[in-house]
């Protein structure tokens, strides 16, 4: 069974850093493209970014609001996806979901999410 378990969320001050993790199991993580998607409280879904598998080059793409501040990486030896968030803003407050990706744009499997609150 595919499982994605996010962790690392919490309360952080504006301007601060935070790193989220997503532990994957039940599939060949090294072959998978992965996404981060976020959802602000009471709001809709927002794509954060994507990382390809290393065999497909390992490239990353980011949404405009986070480009230059967030970095997606992966450790295939640990079956873990990461989201390093720097220079956090109050508007980054959201539940962050990791997802698998098929053919660029289909997100078949989602984790349960981890809440990030940016507040002074």
Build a one-symbol-per-residue string for 97-116: x at contacts with another protein by CB under 8 A, - elsewhere: x----xxxxxxx-xxxx---
Phi, psi of 32 (to 5 degrees): -95, 140
Q: Which of residues 13-42 bind another protein (CB under 8 A)?
A: 35, 37
Residue of 11, 15, 40, 61 that binds another protein (CB under 8 A): 61
User: Pick from 22, 7, 30, 29: which is nearest to 81 by CA?
Assistant: 22
Residue of 9, 63, 76, 86 that binds another protein (CB under 8 A): 63
Q: b/e for 18-51, b at 16 or more Cβ within 10 A?
A: bebbbbbeeeebeebbbbbbbeeeeeeeebbbbb
Half-sphere exposure at residue 18, Cβ-oriented, CA atoms within 13 angstroms: 23
Length of the chain: 120
The two tokens of residue 68 are 């230059």
Q: Please report how close the Cβ of residue 63 comes to another protein at its closest, in angstroms.
A: 6
Q: Please report how close the Cβ of residue 24 comes to another protein at its closest, in angstroms.
A: 14
Q: Please report how close the Cβ of residue 97 comes to another protein at its closest, in angstroms.
A: 6
Q: Does 82 participate in binding another protein (rule CB under 8 A)?
A: no
Residues that bind another protein (CB under 8 A): 35, 37, 44-47, 50, 61-64, 97, 102-108, 110-113
């Amino acid at each position: 069974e595919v499982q994605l378990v996010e962790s690392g969320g919490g309360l952080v001050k504006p301007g601060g850093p935070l790193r989220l993790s997503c532990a994957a199991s039940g599939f060949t993580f090294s072959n998978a493209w992965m996404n981060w998607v976020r959802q602000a409280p009471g709001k809709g879904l927002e794509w954060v970014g994507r990382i390809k598998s290393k065999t497909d080059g390992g490239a990353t793409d980011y949404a405009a609001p986070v480009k230059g501040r967030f970095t997606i990486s992966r450790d295939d030896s640990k079956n873990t996806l990461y989201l390093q968030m720097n220079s956090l803003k109050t508007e980054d407050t959201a539940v962050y979901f990791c997802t698998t990706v098929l053919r660029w744009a289909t997100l078949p499997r989602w984790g349960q999410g981890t809440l990030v609150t940016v507040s002074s």
